[in-house]
């Protein structure tokens, strides 16, 4: 799977069903493995609020589906 394919998927929190956003960046270690990923929540009205970026580890991912990435965050 390519990074661009991951960026097209919405990240959904399984604990509450909320759409967290989309992956904007990845952190890769020296061995070439993904260790962290950054998700940004896109706001509809950008003038009134700022985009919030969240950091998740690869261990937070529960499943990568065809349309979404499921994470389990309390």
pLDDT of residue 71: 94
Strands (E), 1-74: 10-13, 19-28, 34-41, 52-57, 61-64, 68-71
Q: How is domain 3-71 classified at the CATH fold level? A: SH3 type barrels. (2.30.30)
At 6-49, the pLDDT tens digits run: 888 999 999 999 999 999 899 999 999 989 999 988 665 555 55
Q: What is the pLDDT of residue 69?
A: 94
* pTM, two decimal places: 0.77
What pLDDT does 13 receive?
93
pLDDT digits (tens, 9 = 90+) for 38-51: 998 866 555 555 66
């Amino acid at each position: 799977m390519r990074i661009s394919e991951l960026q097209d998927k919405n990240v959904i929190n399984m604990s509450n069903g909320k759409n967290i956003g989309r992956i904007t960046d990845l952190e890769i270690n020296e061995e070439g493995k993904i260790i962290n990923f950054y998700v940004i929540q896109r706001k509809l009205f950008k003038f009134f609020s700022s985009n919030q970026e969240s950091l998740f580890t690869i261990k937070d991912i529960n499943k990568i589906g065809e349309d979404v990435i499921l994470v389990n965050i309390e």
